Structure 1
Amino acid sequence: MNLAAPLTVDDLLAARDPVPVGLDAALRDRLAEGRDFLGKVLGDDRAVYGATTGFGALVGYAGRADQRDQADNTLAHLGAGQGPDLDPALVRATMLVRARSLAQAASGVSPHVVEALAAMLGTTFAPAVPRYGSVGASGDLIPLGAAAQALRGRGYAYLDGERMPAADALERAGLTPLPLDGRDALALVNGTSLTTAALALALHAARDAHRAAQHLTCLLADLLGCDPQFLDERLIRRFAHPGAIDVADAMRTTLAGVVPSGDRPLQEPYSVRCSPQLLGAAEDALRYVDGVVAADLAGVSDNPLFFPGDDAVVHGGNFFGQPAAFAADLLSSVVAQLGNLAERQLDLLVDPHRNGGLPPMLAAGPGQQHGLQGVQLASTALVAELRRDAMPAGMQSLPTNLHNQDVIPLGTQAALRALDQSALLRLILGSLALGLRQAVHVGARRPTAAGTGALLAALARRIPPIDPDRPLEADVRTAADISLNWGF
């Protein structure tokens, strides 16, 4: 990939493995021009935050005169992160986002910094970054500080999945410790690249789950023999919401050829009947998040920014992660409601009073066997986790940094939480998919639509019936993998 072009979520996914990252000649020239302009500004004795000053609340004090010492001045105090390391794949995506922001040549960064990030991404190297410490206001300072230190050969890093001292990881990867001055160091940390990467990956996972929820809802409706009139195009178009119209259209395609049993109630429970409205609202929300992620991946997240053509250094707040915070909070709400839907659908499926007379818990021999009983209990626990964590983070501001950061977005927490929640939703959908596979074994009718039949066949090929009972945690994960990847 070329850093001169905007990134996509697919680029971030690819960065979990070594990936070639290129800088063309025009990009190198723009970086050099920006760096030369920084030298001119400093030569003119103009104030430049982080290059001539202290940091944060201490901006009113002079920084260190030697720029190499100023890099230490930037990074040393940020070594305050706590908690477990973030997933190295997420950290590598973060470094790609940071490289793209810096490559837009508005940060006054040395060209060799961007080149070093590109070289790192061509290996399996990943800085060890603690989860806790960022408030997403002046960028992800503490997490990115740990990443910058690892690139300098300080702290810890991963190579081929093994955690080791960063200096050893650099040597084994064939990389050299990254020399930094004050401006370079600040440019590496003064942006919301972790927040952006986490939000982008959470969005990708939520979109996979959203698509799977549509397919599984269709399979549920077919196995139960539901009348598909809840998807009628005339009905949905009068609802008028674009997401619902598009979701219902996709679900009608999956259910093409379905034959209702004629034995179901006139109106299904909301977990079936209102599914296009719920999933459609989720689609509309996801489209909003799509836009935020696209803007974050295209933008420059740093302070100050340098404009050589205008002979200007502009100080401001482009490191403030409020857009991502709001988007991540919305994404968490979407994920929680998708979890609610899937859990209620599983409850419908295992209840003999509502599932058309299938055995309770879909047990092959009720009493002697218990079928989905444990899986349903676990799904309930997972939904409780999603609900508990759906409290918005983006408005829970706390003043910090001697009231320099008197309002903060907490976008990092919101984005990391959304990423965690998407993993839980995956398991709830896997639980539903496992139940749908088992339902046919204990007496549900075979699918009558080609699309739902293909999904059931994919599940049945890899998951044997639950007869007799067995531990099902691995089957849930397998069913999730099949459901979230089906149709590609």
Structure 2
Amino acid sequence: MTTTSTATPVDLGAPLSIDDLRRAAEPTTVLVGPAVRDRVDRGREFLRTVLADDGRPVYGAKTGFGALVGYAGRAEEADQCDNTLAHLGAGQGPDLPADIARATLLVRAWSLAQGVSGVSAHVLDGLAAMFATTFVPAIPKYGSVGASGDLIPLAYATQALRGRGHAYVDGERLPADEALRRVGLTPLTLDGRDALALVNGTSVTTAATALALASVRASHRAVQDLTCLLADVLGCDPGFLDARLITAYGHAGANAVADRMRATLAGTAPSGDRPLQEPYSIRCSPQLLGAAEDALRYVDGIVAADLAGVSDNPLFFPGDDLVAHGGNFFGQPAAFAADVLAMVTASVGNLAERQLDLLVDPTRNTGLPPMLAAGPGQQHGLQGVQLATTAFVAEIRRCAVPASTQSLPTNLHNQDVVPFGIQAALRAHDLAELLRLLCGSLALGLRQAVHVGGRRPTAPACAALVDTLAGAIPPVDPDRPLDADVRLAADLVTGSGNRVPTRS
């Protein structure tokens, strides 16, 4: 069953964006236009010419795979497809989240649509048809080393499209053949080159890194806003954002962050009750968040390049009569970028946790009650939430060790260096969610602070943010479980999900 989408279609002939990947989580129209079809057909015709020449080797079409490249592959194309995919059915662990699985296949489709992979046009048609439905291949989390492509996870995705393995439809896990029938899809028919082209790219790594970047960017903006709200609620002097001061610091990210924070705090009036110099979690926030901005700009560039590049091997260039064998399936750029995302998450998350700690401490919060409890002792305010944020930060720190430095040889030393980009990317995606929850925790604390005696913000933008939070979340008075409130607050301040938040 195809679901009609009113969103802007994704055109495989146009540049691919992170917004496209995010839209692909839901049924989405994917266009395979005439220009795409023409270049894919030309690449396919060239592949046929090359395969007919007994003197021209083509990896994976005429040969075995990986360390077994020196041996002949299977003679029949359908058998060579099975040969490619069957041995890669070795993944383990939980299935990848649906948004990553579908974004992965969109990244893969865009790469194949460039016409240099030698695939059949019907492969793109099959992928486009899938995106119009709620079909999600079941892809195990563990098995890739991020080189020669994300072979094992992409093999599971490809097998699901062939009606083998498992898939989800509307969130229900089913045998893949039944899932295809339920949404009205026909199993993909592939030859050896089609199969290898579908698995021989780092599309899981790219997709997860891109989605993690989008989430971390949203949280980074939220922490800027919440820092301004904290400063306003406490009555801090905004001088720590002075344009002359920050310009003298000399870092582009700090200037960009401070400009935005000054705009958010425009109209604030210091209370005069705060010390001359605020703790670093307030006073040094533009420097810390500015450094994060500089790092995120690096990740922006890597993700943009990955989304605009072809990840496959070999590549076919009909105009040059060239079959190029190389390493464009090596996910080192995304591995570095995802590790940078983890470091940014750790530092920005630590800042948010320290700001909440300041806010609940009566010795530093300008006399607000401990834990922001409406009746200390009889009530506990944010005490449970503050404990949880400590656990979130501890988990982020535990997981922030770079994955890209952990190379291990494998595949009979054919893959003697590997980037572990998928480990870095999936870890960054997980940590991005913890950062989002830290934002929600701080936001909930600031909403509660105003309820228990903190001043109403004097900057219009800060007052509007408090009103948004207060309009959706009642004060903690009396105590209640706050897990749903943290998630709702996170949605409100990060703009997650493009949906109306609820407390359910």
Fold-level similarity (TM above 0.5) = yes
Which deviates further from its counterpart, 228-237 or 83-92?
A: 83-92
After TM superposition, the structure 1 = structure 2 runs for residues 79-94 of structure 1, keeping only pairs within 5 Å, are 79-94=89-104
User: Which residue pairs with 1:387 in the alignment?
Assistant: 397
* d(CA) in 2 for partners of 1:43, 1:380: 63
Per-residue deviation, 1:387 = 0.4
Cα deviation code 1:30-76 (max 9, x no counterpart): 11111110011111121000000000000011100111100000000
User: Which residue pairs with 1:310 in the alignment?
Assistant: 320
Answer yes or no: is 1:60 the counterpart of 2:73: no
Cα deviation code 1:286-330 (max 9, x no counterpart): 111111111000100000000000000000000000000000000
User: Which residue pairs with 1:456 in the alignment?
Assistant: 466
* d(CA) in 1 for partners of 2:223, 2:131: 34
Per-residue deviation, 1:230 = 0.2
**Given residue 36 of structure 1, which amino acid in structure 2 is its aligned partner?**
E
Cα deviation code 1:80-100 (max 9, x no counterpart): 000011112211111000000
Answer yes or no: is 1:210 the counterpart of 2:225: no
Q: Could you tell me which of 148, 156, 159 is aligned with 2:166?
A: 156
User: Which residue pairs with 2:50 in the alignment?
Assistant: 41
**Given residue 476 of structure 2, which amino acid in structure 1 is its aligned partner?**
I
TM-score for both structures, normalised by structure 1: 0.99
Answer yes or no: is 1:20 the counterpart of 2:29: yes
* d(CA) in 2 for partners of 1:131, 1:94: 13
Q: Could you tell me which of 14, 32, 39 is aligned with 1:30?
A: 39
* SS state at 2:434 partner: helix
After TM superposition, the structure 1 = structure 2 runs for residues 412-427 of structure 1, keeping only pairs within 5 Å, are 412-427=422-437
Cα deviation code 1:256-303 (max 9, x no counterpart): 000001111110000000000001111111111111111000100000
* d(CA) in 1 for partners of 2:442, 2:33: 49
Per-residue deviation, 1:462 = 1.0
Q: Could you tell me which of 284, 298, 304 is aligned with 1:294?
A: 304
Answer yes or no: is 1:474 the counterpart of 2:484: yes
**Given residue 78 of structure 1, which amino acid in structure 2 is its aligned partner?**
L
Answer yes or no: is 1:122 the counterpart of 2:132: yes
Per-residue deviation, 1:24 = 1.4
Per-residue deviation, 1:343 = 0.3
**Given residue 47 of structure 1, which amino acid in structure 2 is its aligned partner?**
P
* SS state at 1:457 partner: helix
Per-residue deviation, 1:121 = 0.8
* d(CA) in 1 for partners of 2:28, 2:105: 12
* d(CA) in 2 for partners of 1:424, 1:24: 40
User: Which residue pairs with 2:4 in the alignment?
Assistant: none
User: Which residue pairs with 2:501 in the alignment?
Assistant: none
After TM superposition, the structure 1 = structure 2 runs for residues 264-343 of structure 1, keeping only pairs within 5 Å, are 264-343=274-353
Which deviates further from its counterpart, 342-351 or 165-174?
A: 165-174
* SS state at 2:167 partner: strand
Which deviates further from its counterpart, 400-409 or 87-96?
A: 87-96
| Structure 2 alignment gaps of length 5 or more | 1-9, 499-504
Cα deviation code 1:383-442 (max 9, x no counterpart): 000000000001100000000000000000100000000101111111111110111111
TM-score for both structures, normalised by structure 2: 0.96
Q: Could you tell me which of 238, 259, 270 is aligned with 1:249?
A: 259
* d(CA) in 2 for partners of 1:35, 1:485: 43
| Structure 1 alignment gaps of length 5 or more | none
Answer yes or no: is 1:10 the counterpart of 2:10: no
> How many percent identity over aligned positions?
74
* SS state at 2:293 partner: helix
How many residues matched? 487
Per-residue deviation, 1:378 = 0.5
* SS state at 2:31 partner: coil
Which deviates further from its counterpart, 24-33 or 375-384?
A: 24-33
* d(CA) in 2 for partners of 1:176, 1:474: 40
User: Which residue pairs with 1:355 in the alignment?
Assistant: 365
Answer yes or no: is 1:430 the counterpart of 2:440: yes
Runs of 4+ displaced beyond 6 Å: none
After TM superposition, the structure 1 = structure 2 runs for residues 222-241 of structure 1, keeping only pairs within 5 Å, are 222-241=232-251
* d(CA) in 2 for partners of 1:243, 1:454: 26
* SS state at 2:155 partner: helix
Cα deviation code 1:83-140 (max 9, x no counterpart): 0111122111110000000000000111111111111111111111001101101110
Alignment RMSD (CA, Å)? 0.9
